[in-house]
């Protein structure tokens, strides 16, 4: 029985040394520029937007669109933002503020898109979905998820994304190379719908398998094994 267990452990060890990704996508695909077309995107409840005044920066404000689809600003108690593009909202705000502000020139920037999410799972402290923020990269998204756990396989984080052919593709991202500065191009911009999976390290996979499948099958516990081993050595049977 023990020989069988040892064989299983050996095979797992060899398997654990292999890559998680068997057929990685073309990494150059990830270098394609990622932008959300602000001219077409329709603001929705929960989005966060910046309103920036060109000649009155003291009035600049970041607001979240309320569940009723409206926002409030200085001199404007309530105005409908939902269903409008950023440019359309900016134009409407300028019209409303002309009586109160001499030069109400302003622009609207959407900084967080609530209906476009990124999904994070695996060895992270806070798995789940996150709203996509403008121009966020993989390091920033993982930081918002509470960063990876000590059990993470840092050199092969998985990014699942639609490739240019609109098919699912898997890309391994080496966080260690990003952190060291060796390959900053891997710190790619994240797109809506991306799935980020942080797999466990080889040693963690092994430990979990042993704990769940092997330890209970041993004819003696770990403490008994330790006592037996020490007794053998103390009697000079094993040098």
pLDDT in tens, 181-221: 999 999 998 988 899 999 998 878 777 777 777 666 655 55
CA atoms of 133 and 149, how far apart (whole Å): 23
Task: Name the DSSP class of 57.
Answer: G
Q: Is the pLDDT of residue 12 over 50?
A: no
Q: CA 149: distance to chain centroid?
A: 13
**Residue with more model confidence, 125 or 231:** 125
Q: Which residue is it, tokens 């040693």?
A: 203
Which of 127, 47, 125 shows the shortest CA–CA distance to 83? 47
- pLDDT confidence of residue 206: 76
CA atoms of 191 and 193, how far apart (whole Å): 6
Handedness of CA 73, 74, 78, 81 (dihedral sign): negative
Q: How far is CA 216 from CA 102, 198, 228, in A?
A: 78, 28, 18
Q: Is the pLDDT of residue 239 over 50?
A: no
- pLDDT confidence of residue 167: 86
Structural domains of the chain in order of their starting residue, each with its CATH number: 19-35+114-203 (3.10.560.10), 48-113 (3.30.1950.10)
CB 79 within 8 A of CB 68: no
Q: 3-class SS at 158?
A: strand
Longest dimension (CA), the chain: 97
Task: Name the H helices within 43-174.
Answer: 86-97, 138-144
- pLDDT confidence of residue 221: 52
- pLDDT confidence of residue 125: 97
| CB neighbourhood size of 2 (10 A) | 9
Q: Which backbone phi and psi does 47 adopt, to 5 degrees? A: -65, 150
């Amino acid at each position: 029985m023990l020989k069988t267990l040892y064989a299983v452990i050996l095979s797992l060890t060899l398997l654990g040394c292999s890559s998680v990704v068997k057929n990685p996508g073309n990494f150059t695909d990830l270098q394609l520029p990622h932008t959300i077309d602000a001219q077409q995107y329709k603001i929705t409840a929960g989005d966060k937007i910046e309103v920036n005044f060109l000649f009155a920066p003291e009035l600049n404000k970041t607001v979240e669109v309320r569940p009723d689809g409206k926002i409030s600003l200085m001199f404007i108690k309530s105005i409908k933002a939902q269903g409008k593009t950023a440019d359309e909202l900016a134009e409407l705000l300028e019209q409303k503020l002309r009586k109160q502000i001499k030069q109400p020139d302003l622009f609207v920037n959407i900084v967080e898109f609530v209906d476009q999410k990124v999904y994070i799972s695996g060895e992270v402290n806070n798995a789940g979905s996150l709203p996509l923020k403008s121009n966020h990269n993989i390091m920033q998204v993982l930081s918002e998820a509470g960063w990876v756990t000590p059990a993470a396989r840092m050199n092969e984080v998985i990014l699942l994304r639609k490739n240019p052919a609109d098919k699912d593709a898997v890309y391994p991202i080496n966080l260690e190379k990003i952190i060291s500065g060796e390959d900053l191009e891997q710190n790619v911009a994240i797109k809506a719908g991306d799935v980020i999976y942080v797999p466990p390290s080889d040693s963690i996979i092994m430990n979990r398998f042993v704990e769940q499948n092997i330890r209970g099958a041993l004819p003696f516990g770990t403490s008994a094994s330790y006592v037996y081993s020490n007794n053998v050595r103390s009697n000079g049977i094993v040098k």
